[in-house]
Amino acid sequence: MSDLKSTNSSAAEPATDNRSLIKAALDIDPWLEPFSQPLIDRQLDFKKWYADLNSSEGSLVKFASSYHEYGLHADWNSTSITLTQYIPDVLEVSLVGDFNDWNVNSHKLNKVNNFGLWSLTIPSINGEFAIKHDTRYKIAMKLPSGEIIFRLDPWLRRATPSTENTLYEGRFWNPPPQEKYQFKHKRAQFNDREGIRIYEAHVGISTPEPKVGTYKNFTQNVLPIIHTLGYNTIQLMAIMEHAYYACFGYQVTNFFAISSRYGTPDDLKELIDTAHGLGIKVLLDVVHSHSSKNVQDGLNMFNGTDYYLFHGGPKGNHDLWDSRLFNYANHETLRFLLSNLKFFIDEYKFDGFRFDGVTSMLYKHHGLSFGFSGDYNEYFNPDYVDGDAINYLMLAHKLLDDMSQLENNFKFISIAEDVSGMPTLCLPLSQGGIGFDYRLSMAIPDMWIKILKHLSDDQWDLSNIVHTLTNRRYKEKCISYCESHDQALVGDKTIAFWLMDKEMYTNMSKLSENTPVIDRGIALHKLIRLLTFALGGEGYLNFEGNEFGHPEWLDFPREGNGQSYHYARRQFNLIADDLLRYKFLFNFDSGMLSLDTKYGVLDTPQAYVSLKHESDKVLIFERHGLLFAFNFHHSNSYPDYKVGVETAGTYVLVLSSDDKEYGGHQRVEELDEHGKPYEYFTNNEKWNDRSNSLQLYLPSRTAIVLQLKSKVF
């Protein structure tokens, strides 16, 4: 590994007038000091791009509004249609479709400049649009070789499967204004107390029936479930159009089109608007890290070259994902991607983004076969780091900041899927960071799967678990999760499957015996989720169905399974049956989330862990006025277990995983003989480096949460 300081002699002594750009980052993490110059260089490069775009394009917001101009657009006042495209390295460009019998000579575009810009205006015909709504169309191009190729419009708003082959077809989406969905609700706002609680969802699988779900089904049947549970944010996957359903939405073919398999653009707008009416934000899982290799219905080889918006040659290929990589140094690539972000905020009212594959973007090696050790050289070595991608991400966050000012300071959310832990990734631009609000704590689900796969209950290492849950960068917020869609896919197992797969199809009915396997599985499922929720981050994420221990993995229809939809669904019907034990886990998830809605646990400083007792398997910590006590022991229960607590006073129980409503055994007293909440009183004996202590009954495989009811002064 090369030494960054040896490649840049000024690394430790940057120009003093530029240090203000990163002073806040250095104050937060002094270990960044030797890497001041690369941090400053990132800021300077970003500021230069921002200034240049403001100068050449009017503003960054205007630049990102290019979707209003590029592509095919209808003017309802004049009933004319205009097509504008960036297509370099071609001789001619034509608009073809059903409206002109696909004649390449009928509607040729005019060359606007020598930089690849083409345009055409099609006048009204007898007061009507020359191209009807939902008409099929393509862009035809004559290459220098004389060959004529046909491609889908990169900016098209609608693509649907062909009835003639396996390809997708471009559609001119232009319904009458009076038929378009009109938003009724304002964007949802968080209150000052609560953190972000994310329900990761895929519209297509959100039905118990073995078929593709719809936006309408999600709106009518899934949104109420999410609202009941207490999630305040939905992260929608697989929305950007993807020709191959089984890619889970990560091989995007049409960036401005939403997946037509779920319904129409108006259907998605209704979904988001309804969520806003319930006080729920909606995030788009945006894929700007790579693009599908599809040629006929994707961006690849659009103008006959391999470098249209992408890097040419091997640099433009992601070997593991078999996809194309964007050239973030290209002016028109930035126009396309930044416009894509603004389009989804403006057109569909999304409230922010979860950026997929950020690790692949940040590094020239894309994280492939690279084990991140935490050595800061890995994050700042120019041989490793893709400065152009970092600049794009900084411009994207500056765009979100600028748009926030235009929308009454509404805070648009951004989340990075990054496994590398790059410093400053989740610091604001103003503090010398890249700008993300959160990064996903991707080590946590890996830890839980390894524990469940390889260790018996008495081998669980509480110190290692706590370290993994709390090992995050100071002042850079994280989203914790036990399992996301990755752990639900066929080939892996969900936590519920690892715990109970032998008996999930036979003993999840309350009419059957509560076997040791089921009893253990339900108990540990609750403890794992509560511990991850309370200790693992400043936000929390759950993949749909996992909250109630969905009994099956996720597998999309493909050749290997006979194109079956049997596993490409979520069986929400299971929680509607009061005779099934899935309802217990569902109820507990709601009770757990209420800790944040009532007491504001998530968006607070890290917990103080006062006890990790390996032989007792007891874990104690305090966070934001709540006392958490976990007993992971498989059989030992502890009466009058002494625990430390900092604040003296009277404590009351606010959550017990052993509650009967949650499938427990009701071993913890919740009410006294008068029917009032059972109270726990501290004494002034110091314990485990805390100023006071109290005694608790900790049943085996149980977690309890207490709140300070009143202080002793």
Q: Would you please indicate which residues are annotated as catalytic (active-site) residues?
A: 356, 417
Cβ atoms 354, 285 nearer than 8 A: yes
Helix count and strand count (H, E) for the chain: 17, 29
Distance CA 189, CA 292 (A): 35
Cβ atoms 300, 352 nearer than 8 A: no
Q: Which residues pair with 653 in a beta bridge?
A: 706
Task: Specify the DSSP class assigned to residue 281.
Answer: E
Distance CA 615, CA 460 (A): 10
Contacts of 713 (CB under 8 A, 6+ apart): none
Q: Which amino acid is at 460?
A: W
Backbone phi and psi for residue 138, each to the nearest 5 degrees, phi listed first: -145, 170
Cβ atoms 518, 503 nearer than 8 A: yes
H helix or E strand, kind and range, residue 512 = none
Q: Which residues pair with 438 in a beta bridge?
A: 415
| Tokens representing residue 658 in the block | 């052993």
Q: Which residues pair with 125 in a beta bridge?
A: 128
CA distance from start to end of the chain: 57
Residue 87: HSE in the Cβ half-sphere, 13 Å Cα cutoff:
34
Contacts of 508 (CB under 8 A, 6+ apart): 500, 518, 551, 580, 581, 582
Q: Checking phi first, is residue 623 left (phi over 0); if not, alpha (psi -120 to 50) or beta?
A: beta
| Tokens representing residue 10 in the block | 């000024």
CA angle 19, 25, 30 (to 5 degrees): 90
Chain centroid to CA 713: 45
| Helix, coil or strand: residue 299 | coil
CA angle 194, 200, 203 (to 5 degrees): 130
Place of tokens 């917990």: 607
Distance CA 62, CA 399 (A): 10
Place of tokens 């993949």: 543
Distance CA 155, CA 297 (A): 12
| Helix, coil or strand: residue 461 | coil
Cβ atoms 399, 338 nearer than 8 A: yes
Q: Burial of 121 by CB count in 10 Å (0-12 exposed, 13-18 middle, 19+ buried)?
A: middle
